[in-house]
Amino acid sequence: MKINASDFKKGLKVELDGDPYEMLDCNFEKPGKGQALYKTRLRNLLKGTILDRTYRSGDGLESADVHRADGHYSYRDTSGFVFMDDAFEQFTLSEESCGSKMKFLMEGAPVGLLFWNGRLIDITPPQHVVLQITYTEPAAKGNTATNVTKPATVETGDEVQVPSFINQGEKIKIDVVSASYVERVRD
Q: Is the dihedral of CA 133, 139, 143, 149 positive or negative?
A: negative
Mean residue pLDDT of the chain comes to: 90
> Three-class SS of residue 171?
strand
Q: Which domains does the chain have, with CATH numbers?
A: 2-63 (2.30.30.30), 66-124 (2.40.50.140), 128-185 (2.40.50.140)
**Tell me: the pLDDT tens digits for 42-84?**
999 988 899 999 999 889 999 999 999 999 999 999 989 999 9
- The pLDDT confidence band at residue 141, using thresholds 50, 70 and 90, is low
d(CA 134, CA 154): 5
DSSP state of 40: E
What are the beta bridge partners of residue 66? 116
What are the beta bridge partners of residue 73? 83
Q: Are residues 93 and 74 in contact, defined by beta-carbon separation less than 8 angstroms?
A: no
Give start and end residues of each alpha helix (H) in the chain. 95-98
Report the amino acid identity of residue 164: S
Quick one: what percent of the chain has pLDDT higher than 90?
A: 66
d(CA 20, CA 12): 10
Q: What angle do CA 75, 64, 77 make, to 5 degrees?
A: 15
Q: Are residues 21 and 14 in contact, defined by beta-carbon separation less than 8 angstroms?
A: yes
Q: Are residues 66 and 45 in contact, defined by beta-carbon separation less than 8 angstroms?
A: yes
Q: Are residues 86 and 70 in contact, defined by beta-carbon separation less than 8 angstroms?
A: yes
Quick one: what percent of the chain has pLDDT higher than 70?
A: 96
**The pLDDT of residue 43:** 94
Picking from 76, 78, 86, 74, the residue whose alpha carbon sits closest to that of residue 115 is 86
Q: Are residues 40 and 73 in contact, defined by beta-carbon separation less than 8 angstroms?
A: no
State the pTM of this model: 0.81
> Three-class SS of residue 6?
helix
